[in-house]
Structure 1
Amino acid sequence: MTSQLDFSALKIAILGGGPGGYEAAMVAASLGAEVTIVENKGVGGSAVLTDVVPSKTLIATADTMVRVATAYNTGVKFDDPKAAYADLGQVNDRLLKLASEQSQDIAAGLERAGVRILHGTGKLLEDHRLEVSTGEGTEIVQADAVLVSTGAHPRELPGAKPDGERIFNWTQVYNLNQLPEDLIVVGSGVTGAEFASAYNGLGSHVTLVSSRDQVLPGEDADAAQVLETALQRRGMKVLPRTRAESVERTGDGVRVALNDGTTIEGTHCLLAVGAIPNTADIGLEEAGVTLTDSGHIKVDGVSRTTAPNVYAAGDCTGVFALASIAAMQGRIAMAHLLGDSVKPLKLKQVASNIFTSPEIASVGVTEEEISSGHYQGDVVKLPLRTNPRAKMMNVEDGFVKVFSRRGSGTVIGGVVVGPRASELIYPIALAVAQKLHVDDVADTVTVYPSLTGSIAEAARRLHVRSS
């Protein structure tokens, strides 16, 4: 279908200006297409305005607080042990300003590339047209191909409606001017764990309601245990195997009813119980786009949907709820559509990070897949407390794991738990993507002292003796 198109004159409409949408737009514009983005919140979408950018800024501030709180072990002293405190109003003003500036920077870059930005809501019509409702009326955008990148919104519980004052979803917490004294976080997945860790670091007393046996269900079990231990040591209360049935306002706080018949009370409650794709009532099924039972758009490895010349990227696809994946899906979609060189998305090469304190990063095959026999692999785990740089940095928690294919020694995965794990995972991700041998990693000289030294040491221990 796409081979018959004149790429230089191709018109592309993008519904949603988040990472999937704006990255796709930049690629398409660079390849000569005429591009229109439709976005109703602001360029960057929820990822920039209410999700990734503000939440990670909040987390960075909390990380500073945690390092200050543990600095006494290094010889740093304070006349008043409680001298450091978080001015949440200033923290939130800063992070919202950064989010706005990031959105403006992205918009300016798109405009320089010749992309048209149309502010409004869109609906897919036949023949790849978009019906766009703006503040000035309705406009029909003509296109030869469409990328849908509409994201997702917070899921709600039937008995717990966010009000933006005491009961919040993750887009509303930046309304707070005072630090919650006693915060109840419902949901121990990535979002719940990140916010629980952040507010714990900022000084709130946090209770985390977890429906599973461990915080971060589905993640590396050792990593989840390190995180849970660290959070409990810093005063967090974790309620495992517990579900919230309802949340209600009290006079000056909230009351959460649990599935065992008990209740807990706090000053505020944050709901982090998943997300729902923004795919309803935008004309997808009428246009021939197949949705999964969960409402996500079904896509293949190059972001194609089941409708000709309709692609999709980001959280609305349910592939991985990561801004980096949304961006990659968008870039792949446009490269495929416009005939540029492209490689299908390979999820086993995707590095992800959980921005808790400590951070948790992973890539490739999991240890559970090795233990279950799905992959034949060897595992080496090194605690960071034996790393000289970690000792100097007063790092108490964390480890490095590297997985190699049994027999061949090819790096197939890894996990890093510790400060800046999001940076430390990169050499392992590079090794996985490029199918490097453990000796390739081990024989690359690392700085001494450095945290990356533990990655090289793990690789050395996975060395396969040549026959």
Structure 2
Amino acid sequence: MQQHFHFDAIVIGSGPGGEGAAMGLVKQGARVAVIERYNNVGGGCTHWGTIPSKALRHAVSRIIEFNQNPLYSDNSRAISSSFSDILRHADRVINQQTRMRQGFYDRNHCQMFSGDASFVDAKTLNVRYADGTSDRLTADNIVIATGSRPYRPENVDFTHERIYDSDTILQLSHEPQHVIIYGAGVIGCEYASIFRGLSVKVDLINTRDRLLAFLDQEMSDALSYHFWNNGVVIRHNEEFEQIEGTPDGVIVHLKSGKKVKADCLLYANGRTGNTSGLGLENIGLEADSRGLLKVNSMYQTALPHVYAVGDVIGYPSLASAAYDQGRIAAQAMIQGEAQVHLIDDIPTGIYTIPEISSVGKTEQELTAMKVPYEVGRAQFKHLARAQIVGMDVGSLKILFHRETKQILGIHCFGERAAEIIHIGQAIMEQKGEGNTLEYFVNTTFNYPTMAEAYRVAALNGLNRLF
């Protein structure tokens, strides 16, 4: 028999955006329900996206480190691992994350419903369970935090056992010797690093003219070089005409006339918002062609009591930003307006091997804006800490205003880049005279550390001024 429940707020989805909203609401005294399609909380971030891919990347990078470090390896033997081996490591991390996040909901008395949510009317949701039964939930406010999924073109047969997307690649059961990755965005580049680190041949097909064009060009060029140096074949400005599954692999027919054959294919070209099946037509909301919803600065949709956060609203499509969006939406919901807002300069972390991270403007953007900037650089190979741990590949670049010495952008390439970037971000976020390159010269860093790169880069930049 169908039951009816009423809450102050309902959150659809338990990924970073949904978690941020739910925790923000309950901490302000709201009675909250969370509807999650799957049996476990965490969303795509925990189960198919950020967490597993970074766990895989970490395992591979440690194998590479062992094999390249003469302290551990005498070059006559090398350790190796299969994709299924490192998947077991990822599974352990996923389980730990799931238990921890379930604990958040339990401790804060969020009522969980495991089923598919759809709108009946503007304040009523139907929850359909796996056994076919359903319940009705009503609330004064609703948050859509359903995330996104890999884009699947209709002319690609994803039912073929050798054709994967970035979700199903985690179900890879055979050991490929050669992989084609179609799409050279963040996901494609990260998996190119993972597979190549396992000594799998990789063809990376890029539909654009360079890798990760949103990055500072030096960072993009550095990644291209390291891919090339490690044997990844990159094919720029290519699009597929046909993807043909065969009994033992895949053949990609390109519009340029080329053909590429491999054991399997990972299609990683674009994502789609998870809005189909929500019954948006019943409340007068409409997603765009990519399944995304439009929101205002407080994450309200066209219906003021219906909010949307995370990947389902598109840019920046980062787990870190989604969590903050959820918290901001919760504050706006309870207080009428949000006292905090998403920061302008959101750091980007790309977990290739080596890592890339950036915050603020690129050289290309500053040049186009005609900003008089200067550059300070530090090479990791010159840092004592990097020499000690064998992390001598990489660099830190600081862009700053020639006259005010205000930091305008920071770009890091190398191991631990996503951690290192936050030191510079903290100074960039300071208001007025607090944001100055001279901070790194006038402060004292622990020695030896990777953080010392900021002092080296700052001195390098100041020495360029005249």
Same fold at TM > 0.5:
yes
Q: Which amino acid aligns with 2:378?
A: L
CA, structure 1 residues 464+237, in 2 after alignment: closer, same or farther (shift >3 Å)? closer
Q: Structure 2 matches for 1:343-358, cutoff 5 A?
A: 343-346=340-343, 348-358=344-354
Give, as a single letter, the amino acid of the residue that structure 2 aligns with 1:448. Answer: Y
Shift of 1:374: 6.0
Instruction: Tell me what 2:457 maps to.
Output: 458
Q: 1: CA distance between counterparts of 2:390 and 2:75?
A: 21
Which residue in the other structure is 1:117 paired with? 112
Q: Which amino acid aligns with 1:68?
A: F
Q: Supply the AA of the counterpart residue of 2:314.
A: G
Equivalent residue letter for 1:18: G
The unaligned stretches of length 5 or more in structure 1 are 1-8
Of residues 191, 196, 203, the one that matches 1:200 is: 196
Question: Mapping of 1:81-230 within 5 angstroms?
Answer: 81-82=77-78, 84-136=79-131, 137-163=133-159, 165-230=161-226
One-letter amino acid matched to 1:378: E
* Amino acid across the alignment from 1:152: S
**Is the partner of 2:87 in helix, strand or coil?**
helix
Query: 1:458 deviation in Å?
Result: 2.0
Letter in 2 for 1:51: G
In the alignment, what sits opposite 2:23?
26
What code does the residue aligned with 2:223 have?
A: L
Match of 2:3 in 1: none
- Displacement of 1:293 in angstroms is 4.8
1:164–1:338 distance in 2 versus 1, CA, 3 Å: farther
Tell me the secondary structure at the aligned position of residue 253 of structure 2. Answer: strand
Relative distance call for 1:386 and 1:79 in structure 2 (3 A) is closer
CA distance in 1, matches of 2:160, 2:95: 20
Question: Structure 1 vs Structure 2: percent identity of aligned residues?
Answer: 27
Contact 1:87 1:178 in 2 (8 A): no
Q: CA deviation at 1:126?
A: 2.8
- Local SS of the residue matching 2:241: strand
TM-score, length basis structure 2: 0.92
Shift of 1:285: 4.9
Q: Secondary structure at the match of 1:114?
A: coil
Change (3 A) 1:281 1:375: farther
In structure 2, list runs of 5 or more residues that go unmatched: 1-5
Instruction: Check conservation: 1:18, 1:43, Cα contact below 8 A.
Output: yes
Question: Is the Cα contact below 8 Å between 1:409 and 1:464 reproduced in 2?
Answer: no
Number of residue-to-residue matches in the alignment: 455
Query: CA 1:293–1:177 in structure 2 vs 1: closer, same or farther (change >3 Å)?
Result: closer
> For each residue in 1:93-122, what CA deviation from the matched residue of structure 2 results, as whole angstroms up to 9, or x when unmatched?
331232133123211221110101100111
2:238 corresponds in structure 1 to 242
Which residue of the partner structure matches residue 296 of structure 2?
300
Shift in CA distance, 68/465, structure 1 to aligned 2, threshold 3 Å? closer
Aligned residues of 1:285 and 1:291 also touching (Cα < 8 A): no
TM-score, normalised relative to structure 1: 0.91
Deviations 1:56-96 (Å, cap 9, x if unpaired)? 11111111122123213xx44347424x1113323213312
Give distance in 1, aligned partners of 2:219 and 2:445: 24
Quick check: 1:18–1:151 contact (8 Å CA) kept in 2? Answer: yes
Deviates further, 204-213 or 383-392? 383-392
What does 1:339-418 align with in structure 2 at a 5 Å threshold? 339=335, 342-346=339-343, 348-373=344-369, 375-418=371-414
Q: Distance in 1 between matches of 2:14 and 2:294?
A: 20
Name the CA distance, whole Å, in 1 between partners of 2:371 and 2:21. Answer: 34
Q: Secondary structure at the match of 2:440?
A: helix
Contact 1:290 1:297 in 2 (8 A): yes
Could you list the per-position Cα deviations for residues 351-406 of structure 1 after superposition, in whole angstroms to 9, with x for gaps in the alignment? 11000011000112222210112655333233323333223333353211112234
The CA distance in 1 between the partners of 2:324 and 2:384, in whole Å, is: 36
- Report deviation, 1:279: 1.5
2:54 counterpart letter in structure 1: K
Q: Does 1:265 align with 2:264?
A: no
Structure 2 SS opposite 1:342: coil
Q: How does 1:411-430 map to 2 (within 5 A)?
A: 411-430=407-426
3-state SS of the aligned residue for 1:159? coil
Report the 3-state secondary structure (helix = DSSP H, G, I; strand = E; otherwise coil) of the residue aligned with 1:131.
strand
Secondary structure of the structure 2 residue equivalent to 1:282: coil
CA contact (8 A) 1:431 1:441 kept: no
User: Which amino acid letter does the alignment assign opposite residue 65 of structure 1?
Assistant: I
Partner Cα separation in structure 2 for residue 431 and residue 189 of structure 1:
29
Which deviates more from structure 2 when the two are superposed, residues 11-20 or residues 451-460?
A: 451-460
CA contact (8 A) 1:157 1:246 kept: no
Within 1, Cα distance between the matches of 2:130 and 2:245?
36
Distance 1:143 1:103 in 2: 27
Distance 1:462 1:80 in 2: 43
RMSD of the alignment, in Å?
2.3
State the distance in 2 between where 1:371 and 1:79 align: 46
How many Å separate the matches in 1 of 2:209 and 2:141? Answer: 46
Structure 1 counterpart SS, 2:126: strand
1:442 is the counterpart of 2:441: yes
